[in-house]
A and B are shown apart, each in its own frame.
Chain A
């Protein structure tokens, strides 16, 4: 007799536990205010990433097309994967001195692991991360980028 009671009690408890779980899902089903899904490709216009988000390595330029990179190569030494190549050249300044300057700052996005050691180690704060996160391209050559813009110069006083 006892086992029969146990049997039916087990069935009743089982159904009750299922109903309890279902009540949670039903609560969300009938309350559209609690939807947390972001409709990603459609909300691209007003999608704001956090300031510190590590998207794409960039070299900020000001309105006079000047950057802060001195071409010292510390970022290249600190990079664990060889994603950064600094190609420097020697230039002659207006007062006749020769100094080292940057020719090309090459960034291989495909090799980058976003550890931020380059940004942290840069002595002149020339590098930063942008909030761009859509990195997919059809041609892998596009993943190699030149960070200094053509015709750009080093900022005065860096």
Chain B
């Protein structure tokens, strides 16, 4: 079977096959790419997934809705709060519960902080993929400040488990607003370093500009969403087009580029961090008073039917689809994870580039492998 897969994938008479991964520092996890090469030129890339498959969708069928939340943290662990929010919004929509304004605003702030820390880690690890080790330390230094905010309010650093159906697990910490304001002030004053170290660097620019071009048509037909899709001009920001939580009351720009190469996928993330800070600044100083959670029944039973909710995670569109048969467990739970779909385009955009460029292209799509396998 394995042999067959490899042979059908390769059109050369004598291809040279390289396994990149499953243990490779630049795949950011256990992703295995079977790369067929001619000389140094990539002819075909076949991703092999499933090394960290935990069957989260199947596990959900034997868990109650509040229990499912902690599993969604572990799909895309860098957008943990946004994943929680997606399931919560879906369950709340199904139960037709009105959520307090306070909850909506806090969820939005937390989601944007999650997006910032995710893009900070992207910047850090992308710099390291392309040979700049300094980036990693600077990126993590700033990310630590966001994680401290999470830790103080939610008790978790990455795996926050902060939303629950009906509201939030706990109210925000009294220091929350001060810390977020301090962070934004600090991060705005330090963002120029990101550009000085990496964006303007001649080696970085030579390795990314014009590499791995993804056209708008291909981005749409492959369904590449998130900053990767928006770098190609695909206007796919769900926060803008189908606002949820408190996104309908904030002003922000959808970051769009038309070039669609590796460099602009990187730039889109840098610009998104600035937009996220704008969103937080509009909300942080006037969080409405009120309860932080709605009193829920001890056992949540969704009415029979199908429910759908989409949110914008740091990597693209996450869809949650619940089929309920009126029981306390979902009959079927389906996640459309952004990383799985974005991985599909890797072969298409990395053909005819060098193997060193493959690292740059795969890094710019910003994979989180547990989200691909689920």
Contact A52 B173 (CB under 8 A): yes
B201 at interface by CB-CB < 8 Å? yes
In chain B, residues 168-206, which have Cβ atoms closer than 8 Å to a Cβ of chain A?
A: 169-170, 173, 193, 196-198, 200-203, 205
Residue A18 at the chain B interface, CB threshold 8 Å: yes
Query: Please, which residues of chain B bring their CB within 8 A of the CB of A21?
Result: 134, 196-198, 200-201
If the complex has contacts A13-B202, A52-B152, A52-B154, are A25 and B67 also in contact, measured as CB distance less than 8 A?
no
Task: For A149, list chain B residues within 8 Å (CB).
Answer: none
Q: Is the CB of B69 within 8 A of A52?
A: no
Which single member of B67, B148, B200 contacts A17 (CB below 8 Å)?
B200
Question: With a CB–CB cut-off of 8 A, which chain B residues contact A20?
Answer: 196, 200
Q: Contacting B70 at CB < 8 Å: which of A24, A36, A53, A115? A: A115
Q: Of the candidates A17, A36, A53, which one forms a contact with B144 in the assembled complex, judged by CB atoms under 8 Å apart?
A: A36
If the complex has contacts A17-B202, A21-B200, A114-B159, are A80 and B141 also in contact, measured as CB distance less than 8 A?
no
For B67, the closest partner residue in chain A by CB is: A80
User: Is A120 an interface residue when CB atoms closer than 8 A count as contact?
Assistant: yes
Partner among B74, B134, B151 whose Cβ is within 8 Å of the Cβ of A53: B151
Find out whether the CB atom of A24 lies under 8 angstroms from the CB atom of B144. Answer: no
Contact between chains at B134 and A25 (CB < 8 Å): yes
Contacts of A18 in B (CB 8 A): 201-203
Task: Answer yes or no: A108 CB below 8 A from chain B CBs.
Answer: no
Q: How many chain-A residues does the 8 Å CB contact rule pick out?
A: 25
Is B67 touching A117 in the complex (CB atoms < 8 A)? yes
Find A117's partner among B66, B148, B154, B196 (CB 8 Å cutoff). B66
The answer to whether A50 touches B70, judged by C-beta atoms less than 8 angstroms apart, is no
Asked if B155 lies at the interface with its beta carbon under 8 angstroms from chain A, I say yes
**B155, A129: Cβ atoms under 8 Å?**
yes
Beta-carbon contacts under 8 Å, A95-154 to B? 113-117, 120, 129
B9 is an interface residue with CB less than 8 A from chain A: no
Q: How many residues of B contact A (CB 8 A)?
A: 32
| B226 to A: closest C-beta gap in Å | 27
Contacts A24-B196, A115-B70, A120-B169 hold; do A14 and B202 have CB atoms under 8 A apart? yes
Q: B63 in the interface, Cβ–Cβ < 8 Å?
A: yes
Task: Judge whether A54 and B134 touch: CB under 8 Å.
Answer: no
Contacts of B154 in A (CB 8 A): 52
What residues of chain B lie closer than 8 Å to A113, measured between beta carbons? 70, 74, 159
Contact present for B151 and A115 (CB under 8 Å): no
In the bound complex, residues from chain B placing their C-beta under 8 Å from that of A65 are none
Please state if B155 and A52 are interface contacts (CB–CB under 8 Å): yes
In the bound assembly, the distance between CA atoms of A80 and B164 in angstroms comes to 14
Q: In the complex, which residue of chain A has the Cβ closest to the Cβ of B135? A: A21
State the CA gap A68–B135 with chains docked (Å). Answer: 50
Known: A52-B152, A52-B154, A52-B170. A24 touches B201 (CB 8 A): no
Chain B min CB distance to A121 (Å): 8
B201 touches A17 (CB 8 A): yes
What's the minimum C-beta distance from A150 to chain B, rounded to whole angstroms?
29
Give the shortest distance, in Å, between A71 (CB) and chain B (any CB): 18
Residues of A within 8 Å of B141, CB to CB, are: 36
CA distance A80 to B169 in the complex (A): 16
Q: Which chain B residue shows the least CB distance to A20?
A: B196
A23: B residues at CB distance < 8 A? 196
Q: Is B153 an interface residue (CB 8 A)?
A: yes
The reply to whether B161 and A24 contact each other, CB–CB distance below 8 Å, is no
Q: How far is the CB of A112 from chain B (nearest CB, A)?
A: 10
Residue numbers in B under 8 Å from A117 (CB-CB): 66-67, 70
Instruction: Flag if B152 contacts A116 (CB, 8 Å).
Output: no
Looking at A20, A23, A116, the one whose CB has the most chain B CB atoms below 10 A away is A116
Task: Count chain A CB atoms within 10 A of each CB in B66, B70, B155, B173 and give the residue with the most.
Answer: B155
For B155, give its contact among A36, A54, A78 (CB under 8 Å). A54
Least Cβ–Cβ distance between B281 and chain A, in angstroms: 24
Given contacts A80-B67, A115-B70, whether A50 and B201 have CB atoms under 8 Å apart is: no
Q: Compute how far the CA of A50 lies from the CA of B175 in the bound complex, rounded to whole angstroms.
A: 11
The interface bits of chain A over 20-48 (1 if a CB of B lies within 8 angstroms of the residue's CB, else 0) are 11011100000000001000000000000
User: Which residues of chain A are within 8 angstroms of B144 by Cβ–Cβ distance?
Assistant: 36
Question: Is the beta-carbon distance between B161 and A50 smaller than 8 angstroms?
Answer: no
In whole angstroms, what is the CA distance A98 to B152 when docked?
Answer: 43
Inter-chain contacts of A129 with B (CB < 8 A): 155
Contacts of A50 in B (CB 8 A): 148, 151-152, 155, 173
> How many angstroms from the CA of A113 to the CA of B67 in the assembled complex?
11
- Residues in B neighbouring A36, C-beta threshold 8 A: 141, 144
On B, residues with C-beta under 8 Å from A are 63, 66-67, 69-71, 74, 134, 141, 144, 148, 151-156, 159, 161, 164, 169-170, 173, 193, 196-198, 200-203, 205
Interchain residue pairs with CB less than 8 A apart (6): A21-B201, A23-B196, A54-B155, A114-B156, A115-B67, A117-B70
The 5 closest A-B CB pairs, nearest first, are A14-B202, A115-B70, A80-B67, A54-B155, A52-B155
